[in-house]
Structure 1
Amino acid sequence: MTRFGIHGTTEVAEVAGDAREAALSRTHRIRHRVLGVAITLVALGYAVRLGELQIVEADEHRRAQLEQSAEWEALPAPRGRIMDRRGRVLAAPDTRYQAFLAVDELRLERSAAVEAVAAVVPVPSDRRRAVTEAEGGWSLVASDISDEERVRMQRTIGHGIYFESRAARDYPRSMGRRLIGAVGASGRGGTGLEAALDEWLAGRAGQAEVRFDGRRNTYRPSGGKVIEPVPGHDVVLTIDAELQRIAENELARALTKTGASGGDMVLLDPRTGEVLALASERADGAPDQISALSDPYEPGSTAKPFLLASLLSEGVVDLDEVVDVEGGELRIGSRVIRDVHGYDTLRVREIISKSSNVGAAKLSARLPSAVQHRYLRDFGFGMRTQVGYLAESAGRLSRPESWTSLSPASHAIGYEMSATSLQLAAAYGAIANGGILLKPSLVREVRDASGRVVERFEPQAVRRVIPEHVAAQVRDVLEEVVRDGTGTLARMARFAVAGKTGTARLAVDGRYALGRYRASFVGFAPADDPRIVILTRLEDPKGGVYYGGAIAAPTSQAALEAALAADGVQLDPRLVVSDPRPRPWSDPSRAAEGAERAIFAASGAGGPEEPWGGDLETDGLVPLPDLTGLSVRAAAAQLHGLGLRVAWQGRGVVASQSPPPGSELARGETVVLK
């Protein structure tokens, strides 16, 4: 019995154990199935989400990626050129390049391509690394590449190298740099006309799409968007490059010779107001400072012609009237006015030609202060010329209400007032052109990149200052100054020069310094048909010679002589071309008559300085040579050698002449060449 019980218990236990194992096995299977289902569901969820990311939301994420890795790179616009009046380039864009390697297109190994570039220009290590690690697209490899270097790289590498132009600046001529200025590091105008004309020259920048790789290096993607830049406009100045060179050279020579601390030379066309040359040098001035515009000074005796013009316009003097000049010394209140030469009497015209301070002071008493002030104001003193583009000073001309009893005499001899060199040249231009004050100009026209004129600047008359007949009288007196007066060192053999010298005391810290002066000469030529105004100012010359007639007048003469000898400068009396553009104050029908005509005037000052010598009225007739086939200059030279005038109506070489060859003409008559 007992055994049976034991076996029964064992069997029961075994059955119970099998049941537990079966239950446990079912539990494991259930868990495995649940886990498998869960994993499957998770995987399915990931798959669904991945599908959403790859398909449904792909565009949105692509845009986000581009926003994070894409930028626009500025493409600078080619800067416009600055040219002189005859189209000679003074400042021009100098194209430089950046080189990019399209790594997917290279036929060379990347390292070999980089070394090929490095053999031409230096390649920084970071750019080498960017090329070798790039996953695609373009990689910048070199900058500031010249055109010659670009060609060498292209030949060596071939496919896979691309170049992008970059605007730089080139100044092919050494002259006019102070006036033209420079471009700053940003590519915009920094100083001078480069800054003043920047709105026209700069153009409009473009854009190029670039990408960032994983290392934040930029590259150009294939098919990336590019907005091309718009080139800047070309600006044509009134400046003549050759005259500017001459002005700068002669001014520098005068400063060296006289030891002056600075000075100006201005050349201006009195018929249009166009500035032909503007040279300034100051030992203590900023490198980009143009003292002819910014530094006003007391003009001294060069202001006397404006007193004469005022007196003649008011009808209170006659040129041949005799004036007691007190032996060269006149006391007005506490002040004594002295002349260099002690004359007893002088005619009114001689007061100017001999530069009598006493005579000018006495004549100024004939004008009310308000009238004297009004004429000076009308000639442009005390106000900016509005030449534009560059900073300029207005000078100083106080209101007549503030004048003292000494002021009329002071203004008559060029003190108690100040003017810039450009103001003074423009005022003489009014005397030269018949009494009209013109607005000086530095820009003739603006052209777009295709050469089309988009803006042209015509001469602008400011006002009539004096009657035409008065201007003619003053011109005659100024011609006497150069022929027989204080400006004889400005005389020229081939034509008459008119002008006035000035020697003014130099003020330092508000007081006139002992033994320090300013020498100047202002004039125009030819005297009977002025084509050019010239002003020379020398500041504080050393060595004991400081009179305007001794140093400024010969400097002006040397500049005119150099201009006559220069190629392409139409100032030679044998080759002076009329400006065909009508003047705003002239009769348009009369202006049109000379539109295609050039006049060559060889009217000298008379006497032994004429190129042919002798007296025109008594030398008889001269036979006219055959001039056909000669150049205009050669033909004009022959005719002027005979004492004849020339009118040119045509182009190129001489095809015909009137009168015909063999005709006998009196010296001074005109020959028409066609």
Structure 2
Amino acid sequence: MNIKRSILLRVRIAFLLTVVFVLAVVYRLVHVQMIEGDKWRQKAEEYSLDYKKIKATRGSIYSANNDLLATSLPFYRLAFDPSLVDDETFTSKIDSLSHLLSNFFRDHSSDYYKKKISEARQSRSRYMVINRDLVNYQQKQMMNTWPIFRKGQMQGGVIFHKVDERHRPFRTLGQRTIGYVKDDFGVGIEWSFNDYLAGRDGEGLFQKVAGGNWKPVNASSDVRPEDGYDIHTTIDVNLQDVAQNALLRALMRYEAAYGTVVLMEVKTGEIKAISNLQKTASGRYAESYNYAVQGTNDPGSTFKLASMLALLEAGKVDLSDTVDTGEGSIDFYNRTLTDVKRGGYGKITVQEVFEKSSNVGIAKLVTEHFGENPQEFVDIIKKTGYGQPLDFQLMGEGVPYIKDTDDESWSGTTLPWMSVGYETSVTPLQTLALYNAVANDGRMIQPILVKSINKANQPVKTFEAKVLNKQIASDETLEKLRLMLEGVVERGTAKNVKNEYFKIAGKTGTAQKLIDGRYRTQHYYASFAGYFPADEPLYSCIVVIDDPDGWNRYGGDVSAPVFKEIADMIYSQNLAIHDSFQADLLANEGTFPVIRAGKFDELNKLCNELGISNHLGDEDVDWVRSQVDNNAIIWKKNYGSNELVPNVQGMTVRDAVYLLENSGLKVNISGSGRVQNQSLRPGVRISKGQTISLDLG
């Protein structure tokens, strides 16, 4: 019995202790929650504070015309602290606010928004995101006038979180060149100049609120961010639009894999347009890779300019020398090199070899003169700077590859194949730099895309094209190279782009593509590189179209017309580059319609015998043109020299033929009377043996 009572007593004591403990816990919970609640809530808020990064506003990117290419626009995410609104305002205005929110976002009913906000208020939530959609600055200003929100952040509880969104006003124009930045990766100007564009982030005090969100406290200790610098580029928006659309039309026409075009000012090296378009899975074209800067490939026949430079600079050949190209094929060990024309070109001059782009002719010349010392050929080319990195302003420039003779892949067929643009690899921009140097009197300069870095319209850093080589070749060699490049358009593989208004100089290129280690005869890399106007070069340009479809897949058929379209558009829009002597082609009208041009001593004698006042404007000239001044004739020196086509319009047949044949031209005549039109425009460079047609009337 005593044992039983003892057990019961122990159980009762244990039960009482448990009850006391439970009551103590309940009391403590009530005390903490009800009596000390404000104190602990304040401490919780204090311990939920942290410093967070405040993003700087990214700098803008501008064109050469000061058009915005990329900028950061402020957008805002709408949040709300419903606990800050007094009961009277909340009760009377919540319906109106919910209605406005529903009409604006158009995703939920007004009842949904009212319920969502009311529940957050009842749960004493200090922070809620009303809608994830961003609003712009004008919309933000409008929302600040809405019921409840108009009281501001402290009394109305409205919170606008600023979020910068990158915006490109011209959308896809130059998209890859402008580029982007995403996390720790990017491309184009955005990435290459990220250190300047990004600015310096600030730091601010934030409070952690319900849902794991952070609300800015706006403390005095906040460090304000420093906005990024602006980038001013050399891109001309109008020329960019012309180049990109011309390229796109050609790509669509030939259903090509990709294409690129670069337009550059000859003297400054400033890139005025650069476009890269690649065929997507949907069949459309978009900029996804910078082939102009990064894409290396066998250049094909555009490399023949470098081969001819080496031959001429070493004194191995002259333009009038002849080469027997036979029936258009030649064997080098176990490989056969062929020309495009079936049956070959036979025996032709060195200049014709270049104009017709004869593989056989170029390879024979190079192997004949450099076969014993092929490294000499390589050294001359590399000395120009071609085949060396340009240290371009954009990251990721393709690494050029021109073999030396100690390269392990060098073989007996390397030299002839290299001479016509194979077994080597360069980017389109690197090839353009070589052609630009020929146009620029031998001065090879570094292409540039960014002109300055600005802060508040004040340059903090400026860029100019670096001189990579002051003189890539002798003046004599350069003059011959220019003659050959002009001949390609006048008579050669690009004669389809010849026009009567201004002269183009350039070279076509068609390279078989290397696929799975083998060159494929049905897949081509078609290109055209050159400059214009040829007499006084202002722009250089390269066009590449990869793997075009159809029968005509050569550079002259596919890429050269894109070049011409760009050049024509620039010529038509820029009166400053129109030739000053164009007005001289028109015969003077007035009192003396017959006296146009001729030999000065004969015309002067005729006028004196007829009693016509005439005066010589230039001293010591043989051939003149007439210019009427009131009732007198002023004799002006006729446009012409031993190297340039003279102006014979208005002359007698005898005088015209004499002058033209003494300039090295062959003359075809049709009609009778004085010369009305001539097929070769005055002022263009003469190629000896060239034919000019005269229309008389």
Counterpart of 2:223, as a letter, is I
Equivalents in 2 of 1:336, 1:217: separation in Å?
Answer: 72
**Pairwise CA distance, 1:136:** 10
* 2:138 aligns with one of 148, 157, 163: 148
The alpha-carbon distance between structure 1 residues 513 and 218, as it changes in their structure 2 partners (threshold 3 A), is: closer
1:441-493 C-alpha deviation (Å, 9 max, x unpaired): 22111112x11111111110112321234223211210111111111122233
Which secondary structure state, in structure 2, belongs to the residue aligned with residue 95 of structure 1? Answer: strand
* 1:430 aligns with one of 437, 443, 456: 437
Structure 2 residue 359 is the aligned partner of structure 1 residue 377: no
Counterpart of 1:397, as a letter, is I
The alpha-carbon distance between structure 1 residues 617 and 151, as it changes in their structure 2 partners (threshold 3 A), is: farther
Which residue of 2 is the match for residue 120 of structure 1? 104
Unaligned runs of 5+ in 1: 1-53, 567-571, 577-599, 609-615, 626-642, 644-666, 670-674
**Pairwise CA distance, 1:617:** 6.4
Which residue of 2 is the match for residue 313 of structure 1? 313
Q: Is the 8 A contact 1:240 1:276 kept in 2?
A: yes
Counterpart of 2:465, as a letter, is P
The alpha-carbon distance between structure 1 residues 109 and 62, as it changes in their structure 2 partners (threshold 3 A), is: closer
Q: Is the 8 A contact 1:137 1:220 kept in 2?
A: no
Which residue of 2 is the match for residue 260 of structure 1? 256
- Note the 1:414-429 alignment, pairs <5 A: 414-429=421-436
* 1:459 aligns with one of 465, 469, 472: 465
Which residue of 1 is the match for residue 416 of structure 2? 409
Which residue of 1 is the match for residue 399 of structure 2? 394
Which secondary structure state, in structure 2, belongs to the residue aligned with residue 109 of structure 1? Answer: helix
Structure 2 residue 523 is the aligned partner of structure 1 residue 516: yes
Which secondary structure state, in structure 1, belongs to the residue aligned with residue 524 of structure 2? Answer: strand
Equivalents in 1 of 2:581, 2:555: separation in Å?
Answer: 26
**Pairwise CA distance, 1:512:** 1.8
The alpha-carbon distance between structure 1 residues 554 and 222, as it changes in their structure 2 partners (threshold 3 A), is: closer
* 1:171 aligns with one of 168, 172, 186: 168
Counterpart of 1:180, as a letter, is I
Moved more, 375-384 or 283-292: 283-292
1:231-273 C-alpha deviation (Å, 9 max, x unpaired): 1111112222222222221111111112222222121222222
The alpha-carbon distance between structure 1 residues 527 and 210, as it changes in their structure 2 partners (threshold 3 A), is: same
Larger Cα Rg: Structure 1 or Structure 2? Answer: 1
Q: Is the 8 A contact 2:126 2:209 kept in 1?
A: no
Give the alignment's TM-score, normalised by structure 2. Answer: 0.69
- Note the 1:324-339 alignment, pairs <5 A: 324-339=324-339
Which secondary structure state, in structure 1, belongs to the residue aligned with residue 104 of structure 2? Answer: coil
Counterpart of 1:438, as a letter, is I
Equivalents in 2 of 1:224, 1:138: separation in Å?
Answer: 22
The alpha-carbon distance between structure 1 residues 269 and 133, as it changes in their structure 2 partners (threshold 3 A), is: farther
Q: Is the 8 A contact 1:97 1:163 kept in 2?
A: yes
**Pairwise CA distance, 1:153:** 0.8
* 1:552 aligns with one of 529, 549, 559: 559
Q: Is the 8 A contact 1:386 1:440 kept in 2?
A: no
Equivalents in 1 of 2:362, 2:488: separation in Å?
Answer: 15
Equivalents in 2 of 1:217, 1:405: separation in Å?
Answer: 71
Which residue of 1 is the match for residue 245 of structure 2? 249
**Pairwise CA distance, 1:96:** 0.6
Q: Is the 8 A contact 1:138 1:219 kept in 2?
A: yes
Equivalents in 1 of 2:431, 2:503: separation in Å?
Answer: 21
Which secondary structure state, in structure 2, belongs to the residue aligned with residue 415 of structure 1? Answer: coil
**Pairwise CA distance, 1:66:** 5.8
The alpha-carbon distance between structure 1 residues 225 and 308, as it changes in their structure 2 partners (threshold 3 A), is: same
**Percent identity of the aligned residues?**
27
Q: Is the 8 A contact 1:492 1:557 kept in 2?
A: no
Q: Is the 8 A contact 1:255 1:263 kept in 2?
A: yes
* 2:74 aligns with one of 62, 82, 95: 95
Equivalents in 1 of 2:288, 2:338: separation in Å?
Answer: 39
Counterpart of 2:576, as a letter, is L
The alpha-carbon distance between structure 1 residues 288 and 623, as it changes in their structure 2 partners (threshold 3 A), is: farther
Which residue of 1 is the match for residue 637 of structure 2? none
**Pairwise CA distance, 1:171:** 0.8
**Pairwise CA distance, 1:94:** 1.3
Which secondary structure state, in structure 2, belongs to the residue aligned with residue 204 of structure 1? Answer: coil
**Pairwise CA distance, 1:62:** 11
The alpha-carbon distance between structure 1 residues 313 and 118, as it changes in their structure 2 partners (threshold 3 A), is: same
Which residue of 2 is the match for residue 272 of structure 1? 268
* 2:358 aligns with one of 352, 356, 359: 356
The alpha-carbon distance between structure 1 residues 624 and 87, as it changes in their structure 2 partners (threshold 3 A), is: farther
Unaligned runs of 5+ in 2: 1-35, 153-157, 587-595, 599-623, 631-648, 650-680, 684-697
Q: Is the 8 A contact 1:495 1:603 kept in 2?
A: no
Which secondary structure state, in structure 1, belongs to the residue aligned with residue 353 of structure 2? Answer: helix
Structure 2 residue 328 is the aligned partner of structure 1 residue 346: no
Equivalents in 2 of 1:259, 1:607: separation in Å?
Answer: 43
Equivalents in 2 of 1:87, 1:219: separation in Å?
Answer: 38
Q: Is the 8 A contact 2:204 2:218 kept in 1?
A: no
Structure 2 residue 48 is the aligned partner of structure 1 residue 69: yes
Which residue of 2 is the match for residue 589 of structure 1? none
Give the alignment's TM-score, normalised by structure 1. Answer: 0.71
Which secondary structure state, in structure 2, belongs to the residue aligned with residue 409 of structure 1? Answer: helix
Q: Is the 8 A contact 2:384 2:473 kept in 1?
A: no
The alpha-carbon distance between structure 1 residues 130 and 294, as it changes in their structure 2 partners (threshold 3 A), is: farther
Equivalents in 1 of 2:71, 2:485: separation in Å?
Answer: 42
Equivalents in 1 of 2:177, 2:199: separation in Å?
Answer: 21
Which secondary structure state, in structure 2, belongs to the residue aligned with residue 155 of structure 1? Answer: coil
Which residue of 1 is the match for residue 61 of structure 2? 82
Equivalents in 1 of 2:629, 2:242: separation in Å?
Answer: 35
1:179-238 C-alpha deviation (Å, 9 max, x unpaired): 222343x5x764433222221111122233233457766444476644322111111122
The alpha-carbon distance between structure 1 residues 445 and 439, as it changes in their structure 2 partners (threshold 3 A), is: same
Which residue of 2 is the match for residue 584 of structure 1? none
Q: Is the 8 A contact 2:205 2:219 kept in 1?
A: no
Equivalents in 2 of 1:300, 1:118: separation in Å?
Answer: 63
Counterpart of 2:381, as a letter, is L
The alpha-carbon distance between structure 1 residues 346 and 214, as it changes in their structure 2 partners (threshold 3 A), is: closer
Which residue of 2 is the match for residue 229 of structure 1? 225
Residues matched between the structures, number: 535
Counterpart of 2:369, as a letter, is R
Moved more, 220-229 or 397-406: 220-229
Equivalents in 1 of 2:208, 2:328: separation in Å?
Answer: 85
The alpha-carbon distance between structure 1 residues 336 and 100, as it changes in their structure 2 partners (threshold 3 A), is: closer
**Pairwise CA distance, 1:620:** 4.0
Which secondary structure state, in structure 2, belongs to the residue aligned with residue 561 of structure 1? Answer: helix
